[in-house]
């Protein structure tokens, strides 16, 4: 009688091996965070970011607290202070007051595919070192974020069916190689979790929070949405999508430049724009007060306008 494992057993063993390997690598590097502020006590998770004791978490986890306590699975505890928070990306950077475990490897969420295996590590409901696994259920999702003076959509949010619960926020979402590709940020419903992606835009935000304590954003005063180009237009301009201007704020930089509702924004400073993230990436920090050349398609004709963006107030 054969004792060889059935093929499905082999697949399950491989799945288990991946999850246990990722868990063993990440669990020591994810801390349980506790804060006290004017709103009372709160808790969440944070992921080691650098060898200099920085951690990354959610802006909504730290809230308006100045600091708090981080506890790791090996019993290491540290006090931390908040270096910077950015509610419009729901990211925050904190720094511990002593040596903490080394950081994990960070990957690029842009390489994920729907169906990719992901592992979530966090501290839900006060249960430290909790590991759940699932797949990427969707990519390119949007999640609203706002401050007292501004609102926007966090773009390219990762949707996963890995079980998330309160306290998972700020924890790590990793790929099958153990690389952190997202920061778990929301429990949207049963069987549905969301994570802010780690990608080129995120790295710009992280750098700004670490060095400046805040993220400066340029303000154009328009609302746009991705729109497909016709096959003829796509061939002519070498891109399949543009951004359709839905609304222009009266008196804002876009309105003063001559941009109108209904225009299709093709490019900014010669760089093609096909989604909201590509526009937001162009409007970080150094775009404030800088002359921007914007190419739009209006009634079938190309129109070049020049805008001088202001700074989005905090």
Residues forming the active site = 60, 90, 169
CA dist 125 to 25, 95, 159, Å?
22, 23, 21
Instruction: Quote the DSSP letter at residue 4.
Output: P
Residue with tokens 């928070």: 85
DSSP string, 68-79: EEEE-TTS-EEE
**CB crowding 130-153: b at 16 or more within 10 Å, else e:** bbbbbebbebebebebeeeeeebb
Please give the Cα distance from 142 to 135 (Å, whole number). Answer: 18
Residues 6+ apart with CB under 8 A from 309: 218, 219, 220, 253, 283, 287, 288, 289, 290, 292
Residue indicated by tokens 């963006």: 309
């Amino acid at each position: 009688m054969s004792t060889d494992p059935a093929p499905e057993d082999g697949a399950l063993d491989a799945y288990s091996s991946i999850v246990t390997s990722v868990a063993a690598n990440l669990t020591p590097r994810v801390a349980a965070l506790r804060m006290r502020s004017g709103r009372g006590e709160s808790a969440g998770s944070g992921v080691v970011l650098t060898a200099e004791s920085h951690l990354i978490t959610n802006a909504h986890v730290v809230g308006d607290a100045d600091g708090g306590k981080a506890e790791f699975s090996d019993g290491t505890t540290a006090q931390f202070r908040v270096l910077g928070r950015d509610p419009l990306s729901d990211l925050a950077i904190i720094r511990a007051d002593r040596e903490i475990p080394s950081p994990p490897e960070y990957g690029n969420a842009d390489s994920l595919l729907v169906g990719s295996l992901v592992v979530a590590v966090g501290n839900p409901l006060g249960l430290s070192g909790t590991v759940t696994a699932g797949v990427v259920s969707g990519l390119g999702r949007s999640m609203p974020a706002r401050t007292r003076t501004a609102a926007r959509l966090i773009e390219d949010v990762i949707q996963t069916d890995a079980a998330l619960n309160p306290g998972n926020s700020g924890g790590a979402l990793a790929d099958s190689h153990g690389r952190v590709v997202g920061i778990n940020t929301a429990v949207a419903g049963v069987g549905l979790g969301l994570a802010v992606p780690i990608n080129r835009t995120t790295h710009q935000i992280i750098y700004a929070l670490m060095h400046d304590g805040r993220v400066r954003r340029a303000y154009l005063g328009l609302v746009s949405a991705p729109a497909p180009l016709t096959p003829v237009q796509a061939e002519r301009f070498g891109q399949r999508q543009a951004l359709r201007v839905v609304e222009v704020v009266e008196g804002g930089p876009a309105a003063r430049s001559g941009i109108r509702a209904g225009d299709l924004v093709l490019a900014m400073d010669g760089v093609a724009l096909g989604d909201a993230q590509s526009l937001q990436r162009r409007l970080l920090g150094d775009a404030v007060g800088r002359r921007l050349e914007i190419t739009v398609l209006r009634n079938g004709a190309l129109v070049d306008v020049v805008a001088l963006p202001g700074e989005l107030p905090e």
